[in-house]
Amino acid sequence: MSSKADIETDSFAPHKIAVLADVHGNYTALRAVVADAKRHKATDFWFLGDVLLPGPGSTDILALLADLGITTWPRGNWEDLLVNGHAKNLDVTDPQRLYFTRHAMYQDQFLDATTYQRLADMPLTVTHHIGGLTFRLSHNLPDKNYGQELIPTEQQANFDRLLTSEIDVALYGHTHRQLMRYGSDGQLIVNPGTVGMAFTNPGKVQHDLRAMYALITVAGSRVTNVDLRKVEYDKDAELERARVRKLPYFDLYSDQILAGVGYTHNRPVLAAYAGAHGYVAEVARYVEQ
Ligand SMILES: [Mn+2]
């Protein structure tokens, strides 16, 4: 796997960059965000990883991202879980690993070998140069796409790990929380929040289940605006897609979308759901193939 991608963009044109992260299989939310960004005349679209799962979206999401010019992005931890679930590399005695493997099994009806390989080969960081500014994109830390180091209440030293002297703006996702702050040397750090998998956040001021993204304006060699946006989308339509497409763990997805309840780390609930829906036997047969 390569670890870096470098993308050069015309320095002289003004840019309005829509930064998207953590779509998590929610095509309906992604479409709402893209429509909002186009209304606001976005010129560039970037993505920060965690593209599929646990929602029903699949090649439709990958095609929409490709239409926006997004073919490379920093690999999210859910890309790793999907790829490893498909490769049958996860320990399915763990209800959480069973959950990812059952979802990979579901995605197998849509994704071909080339697509799995493309996801496996995504770099950990992507660098963009615009107007003399260097932007570095990572899913979480530049060398670690999982973990809790960058939740908004963490210490400054953790955020400085996003930066080097060459970087002007660090963009990361993963926490599903919108954030704008600075590095110790004054560099800008932005997290656009999550497009498709909003959680009920701690604290009443953070409670919001809309689709999130960031719109960053660059004029000349300056960042002139950072707009942390939230967009309403049709949650019932998304759940209807999930129902029609026979999404596994449907009720948990429904709870996620309508109430912001996350089950990814709730092993007792995942185990009970898998047991009640026959997933344990299905995954055992899949892994043996
Ligand atoms: Mn995520």
pLDDT digits (tens, 9 = 90+) for 112-124: 999 999 999 999 9
What is the pLDDT averaged over residues 25-43? Answer: 98
Cite the beta strand spans of the chain per DSSP E: 4-8, 15-20, 44-47, 125-130, 133-138, 169-172, 178-182, 188-192, 211-219, 222-231
**Residue 59 C-alpha to ligand 1 middle, in angstroms?**
18
State the average pLDDT for the chain: 95
Map residue 138 onto helix, strand or coil.
strand
> Above pLDDT 90, what percent of the chain?
90
Higher pLDDT: 46 or 202? It is 46
- For position 9, what pLDDT does the model report? 59
- For position 203, what pLDDT does the model report? 74
Biggest CA pair distance of the chain: 58
**Residue 188 C-alpha to ligand 1 middle, in angstroms?**
21
- For the purposes of burial, counting CB atoms within 10 Å of the CB of 228, is it exposed (0-12), middle (13-18) or buried (19 or more)? middle
pLDDT at residue 44 is higher than 80: yes
**Residue 182 C-alpha to ligand 1 middle, in angstroms?**
22
Label residue 77 by pLDDT band (50, 70, 90): very high
Label residue 2 by pLDDT band (50, 70, 90): very low
pLDDT at residue 87 is higher than 70: yes
- For position 220, what pLDDT does the model report? 86
- For position 3, what pLDDT does the model report? 55
SS3 assignment for 162-204 = CCCCCCCEEEECCCCCEEEEECCCCCEEEEECCCCCCCCCCCH
Sketch out the chain's domains with CATH numbers.
Answer: 4-288 (3.60.21.10)
Q: Residue type at 77?
A: N
Place of tokens 């955020």: 159
pLDDT at residue 11 is higher than 60: no
**Residue 174 C-alpha to ligand 1 middle, in angstroms?**
4
**Residue 287 C-alpha to ligand 1 middle, in angstroms?**
25
Q: Residue type at 258?
A: L
**Residue 220 C-alpha to ligand 1 middle, in angstroms?**
32
**Residue 246 C-alpha to ligand 1 middle, in angstroms?**
22
pLDDT tens profile 240-251: 999 999 999 999
**Residue 57 C-alpha to ligand 1 middle, in angstroms?**
15
> Above pLDDT 70, what percent of the chain?
96
**Residue 152 C-alpha to ligand 1 middle, in angstroms?**
15
**Residue 22 C-alpha to ligand 1 middle, in angstroms?**
5
- For position 248, what pLDDT does the model report? 98
**Residue 223 C-alpha to ligand 1 middle, in angstroms?**
26
Label residue 1 by pLDDT band (50, 70, 90): very low
- For the purposes of burial, counting CB atoms within 10 Å of the CB of 195, is it exposed (0-12), middle (13-18) or buried (19 or more)? buried
Q: Which residues contact 227 (CB under 8 A, 6 or more apart)?
A: 40, 214, 215, 216, 217
**Residue 24 C-alpha to ligand 1 middle, in angstroms?**
7
Q: Which two tokens stand for residue 92?
A: 């399915």
- For position 206, what pLDDT does the model report? 77
Taken in order 237, 242, 243, 244, is the CA torsion positive or negative?
A: positive
Task: Report the residue count for the chain.
Answer: 289
pLDDT tens profile 214-238: 999 999 889 999 999 999 999 999 9
Shortest CA distance to 211 belongs to which of 198, 226, 222?
Answer: 198
Its pTM stands at 0.95
Shortest CA distance to 138 belongs to which of 119, 125, 127?
Answer: 125
Label residue 8 by pLDDT band (50, 70, 90): low
**Residue 217 C-alpha to ligand 1 middle, in angstroms?**
25
**Residue 35 C-alpha to ligand 1 middle, in angstroms?**
22
pLDDT tens profile 123-156: 999 999 998 899 999 999 999 999 999 999 999 9
**Residue 14 C-alpha to ligand 1 middle, in angstroms?**
30
